[in-house]
Amino acid sequence: MKSKRTHIVSTIFLWLIFLSTFQLIAQEHLDVDHEKKMYERNAMGDGTSLRVLLFSGTGWFRHPDIPIVNGWIVRLGAEHNMQIDVSETGNDISKEKLSYYDVLLFNNANVLDKVFNEEQRTAIEEWYKAGGAIVGLHALLVHQENWPWIMELGGCDFNSDSEFLKAKVVVDSEAMDHPAVKGMGREFWYEADWTNHTKSVTGLPGVQVLLRVDESTYEPVREYFKTRGGVGMGKDHPIAWTRVWGGGRFFYTELGHDIRSMNTDFGRQHLIEGIKWVVKKE
């Protein structure tokens, strides 16, 4: 009898431990979910001037700094009276939902044909063609060959990249007064990991190259890609450009793989002014 009571007490005790642990885990998930929703909604109040959908879903390699860069962009946007909503799911992409936003900003969102279905891709294309504005950071132009429209908009795709290195950056002579690079002089030194694209965008219809990187000042292809056919771009290596094309406006920068390439005075100016530029109506 005593043994039976002991067994019952032990069973009840184990169940209490299990329920307490389950409650703690459940509460932790609820708290995380609540914080995530609060973070993603980022309500700005009545004074909001621009609404930006920041999308960072990926179909291939996921850059470790994506969530860090997301948070940094949200805070930067708040300083400039912008509402930044963050998403990583194609379910947030539709004609109706996109109509709420002024800008669609892709943070290292690669291989998007695996992230968006055909209907969602079409919604983005039609929204852009009707006067939409797209900003792309770093890996937006990585392996988009199965979504020809976004690759055509960007003007190129991915070949390889460098390590995180300091290099000489040259401002295009016709872009000296562009707000995204203004004040940097004819050339300056900057640290980032530099992407080698499949071709230069120089001369493409509607493209204004803002910045080029001087490949003679750093090693353009890291070891991983040297053994996989990676090559540099030579003397014409654009790293930031704008494009007025196909009904909308586009701004791209190679910066953003690593938060260190963004969290500088120039990085802040470069991105904010790029966002402001794409929503201009000229």
Q: What is the number of structural domains in the chain? A: 2
| Mean pLDDT, residues 138-153 | 97
C-alpha 18/C-alpha 232 separation (Å) is 58
Examine the domain organization and report whether 110 and 187 are in the same domain. Answer: yes
C-alpha 226/C-alpha 39 separation (Å) is 40
Domain residue limits at 8: 1-41
CB-facing half-sphere around the CA of 166: CA atoms within 13 A: 2
Examine the domain organization and report whether 79 and 97 are in the same domain. Answer: yes
pLDDT digits (tens, 9 = 90+) for 88-108: 999 999 999 999 999 999 999
Examine the domain organization and report whether 34 and 66 are in the same domain. Answer: no
pLDDT at residue 27, as a whole number: 34
pLDDT at residue 48, as a whole number: 58
Give the confidence band of 281 by pLDDT, cuts at 50, 70, 90: confident
Examine the domain organization and report whether 35 and 52 are in the same domain. Answer: no
Examine the domain organization and report whether 76 and 18 are in the same domain. Answer: no
pLDDT at residue 47, as a whole number: 53
| Mean pLDDT, residues 255-278 | 98
- pLDDT-above-90 percentage for the chain: 80
- Is residue 157 packed enough to be buried (19+ CB in 10 Å), middle (13-18) or exposed (0-12)? middle
Examine the domain organization and report whether 240 and 193 are in the same domain. Answer: yes
Examine the domain organization and report whether 9 and 128 are in the same domain. Answer: no
Examine the domain organization and report whether 225 and 249 are in the same domain. Answer: yes
| Mean pLDDT, residues 244-256 | 98
Q: Beta partners for 52?
A: 84, 103
CATH of the domain at 68: 3.40.50.880
Name which residue leads in pLDDT, 30 or 274. 274
Examine the domain organization and report whether 151 and 30 are in the same domain. Answer: no
| Mean pLDDT, residues 21-30 | 35
